[in-house]
């Protein structure tokens, strides 16, 4: 008897989304959903080589077609918030909507990819499918990174489509992200004798003013407008209610356009805080991804989607593909603003529309 639920890849992608949502798959606990996906691909697709890497499932065709399209999606979700199993609301104020953990991020995208793999009989491109684990947690655990290290040949493609929620728009590239910890040192004293101390928290006054007045750069790349942002995201310090603090920290997050490298982003933040007596430590960084929409395979996808594209402001795994020289876009059902929320939900017509667009793209030379 099977230890995993059976998936029908030929069913409507809306129903397939619900079936995927009904399999809990919080990060690091994706084995059951990976078993179900692997079994369904082996039983219901033709012409795919299929392998397993941990809790990731990979499949590809080798028909000798002139181009290769990668469809990639993560199988894991954030922790469940009383929103599994799925629930379909057909006549609500938002129309026909599917509720549940992962409906947006990103089991609806996975369902579209699985359905197309099983139902397209004459593709115009060779297809690679990558369903991977641990995307929602520490980047060091990301299954796509493991595949890149251990099975790099599986990530070769002319264009990569990541099924991240994009509201049915093609969201091209992504911005980079940088986190810097600024530190201030002072002298501890009793607050009743504050002149004997040096308040570390007060030393952040100048940098907070600079951040509040910061003018964000906008840059157009391949017709995609990226708007940068530099924000204080955490501040800590203080000893007690009657003590002048002698240490404090301020975390700053810089979301930068993909025409900057991580090194250039670091130098820009250094310039913003130049002249202030503060410690400077880079605590996290990830490069952005150029949209690459001029590449023929990417341009054809834009055309298939009716020219609906925009810049991706958040960071996604398209950055990994961009670093490999592969044009990559985010394209999937769902409003990214609803990802990870207790009331996560996706309009079912977006699942249907994304399926139709990708079917047209994958079957047109």
Query: Nearest to residue 297, comparing CAs of 66, 120, 109?
Result: 66
pLDDT at 168: 87
Is 186 a residue whose pLDDT tops 70? yes
Is 344 a residue whose pLDDT tops 70? yes
Residues 220 and 75 in one domain: no
Residues 24 and 47 in one domain: yes
Average pLDDT over every residue of 11-19: 98
CATH number, residue 256: 3.30.70.360
* Residue after which a domain boundary falls, among 266, 286, 306: 286
pLDDT at 348: 98
Residues 71 and 163 in one domain: yes
Residue-wise pLDDT for 304-339, tens only, equals 988 889 988 888 899 888 888 898 899 999 999 999
Ranking 102-111, 273-282, 320-329 by mean pLDDT, the lowest is 320-329
Q: Is residue 209 part of a domain?
A: yes
pLDDT category of residue 89 using cuts at 50, 70 and 90: very high
pLDDT at 1: 43
Give the residue numbers marked as catalytic: 76, 135
Chain centre to alpha carbon of residue 103: 15
Q: Is residue 8 part of a domain?
A: no
In the sheet with 87-92, reading across from the earlier edge strand, the strands are 87-92, 95-99, 345-347
Residues 6+ apart with CB under 8 A from 259: 219, 221, 288, 290
Number of domain units in the chain: 2
Mean confidence (pLDDT) of the chain: 95
Q: Is residue 3 part of a domain?
A: no
* Residue after which a domain boundary falls, among 252, 286, 320: 286
pLDDT category of residue 4 using cuts at 50, 70 and 90: confident
- Say whether 38 sits in a helix, a strand or coil: helix
CATH number, residue 341: 3.40.630.10
Q: Is residue 1 part of a domain?
A: no
Range of the domain at 358: 13-174+289-362
Residues 157 and 305 in one domain: yes
- Report the Cα–Cα distance between both ends of the chain, in Å, rounded: 42
- Distance CA(105)–CA(328), nearest Å, equals 18
Chain centre to alpha carbon of residue 208: 29
Average pLDDT over every residue of 78-100: 96
pLDDT category of residue 351 using cuts at 50, 70 and 90: very high
Residues 142 and 184 in one domain: no
- Distance CA(6)–CA(329), nearest Å, equals 30
Query: Nearest to residue 232, comparing CAs of 277, 193, 180, 276?
Result: 180
Residue-wise pLDDT for 118-166, tens only, equals 999 999 999 999 999 999 998 889 999 999 999 999 999 999 999 999 9
- Say whether 318 sits in a helix, a strand or coil: helix
């Amino acid at each position: 008897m099977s230890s995993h639920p059976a998936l029908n890849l030929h069913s409507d992608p809306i129903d397939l989304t619900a079936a995927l949502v009904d399999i809990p798959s919080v990060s690091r606990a994706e084995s059951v959903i990976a078993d179900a996906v692997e079994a369904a691909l082996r039983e219901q697709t033709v012409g795919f080589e299929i392998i397993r890497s941990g809790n990731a499932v990979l499949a590809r065709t080798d028909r000798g077609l002139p181009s290769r399209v990668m469809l990639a999606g993560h199988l894991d979700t954030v922790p469940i918030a009383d929103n599994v199993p799925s629930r379909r609301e057909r006549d609500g104020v938002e129309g026909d909507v599917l509720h549940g953990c992962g409906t947006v991020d990103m089991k609806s995208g996975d369902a579209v990819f699985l359905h197309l793999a099983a139902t397209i009989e004459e593709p115009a491109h060779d297809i690679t499918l990558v369903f991977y684990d641990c995307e929602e947690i520490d980047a060091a655990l990301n299954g796509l990174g493991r595949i890149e290290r251990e099975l790099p040949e599986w990530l070769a493609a002319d264009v990569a489509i990541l099924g991240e929620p994009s509201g049915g728009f093609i969201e091209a590239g992504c911005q980079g992200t940088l986190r810097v910890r600024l530190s201030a040192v002072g002298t501890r004293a009793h607050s009743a004798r504050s002149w004997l101390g040096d308040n570390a928290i007060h030393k952040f006054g100048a940098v907070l003013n600079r951040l509040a007045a910061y003018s964000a750069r906008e840059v157009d790349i391949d017709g995609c407008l990226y708007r940068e942002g530099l924000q204080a995201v955490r501040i800590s310090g203080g000893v007690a209610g009657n003590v002048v603090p002698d240490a404090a920290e301020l975390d700053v997050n810089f979301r930068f356009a993909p025409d900057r490298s991580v090194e250039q982003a670091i130098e820009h933040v250094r310039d913003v805080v130049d002249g202030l007596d503060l410690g400077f430590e880079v605590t996290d960084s990830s490069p952005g991804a150029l949209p690459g929409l001029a590449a023929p395979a990417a341009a054809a996808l834009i055309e298939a989607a009716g020219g609906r594209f925009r810049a991706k402001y958040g960071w996604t795994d398209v950055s990994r593909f961009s670093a490999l020289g592969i044009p990559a876009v985010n394209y999937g059902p769902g409003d990214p603003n609803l990802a990870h929320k207790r009331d996560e939900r996706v309009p079912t017509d977006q699942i249907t529309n994304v399926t139709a667009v990708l079917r047209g793209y994958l079957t047109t030379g």
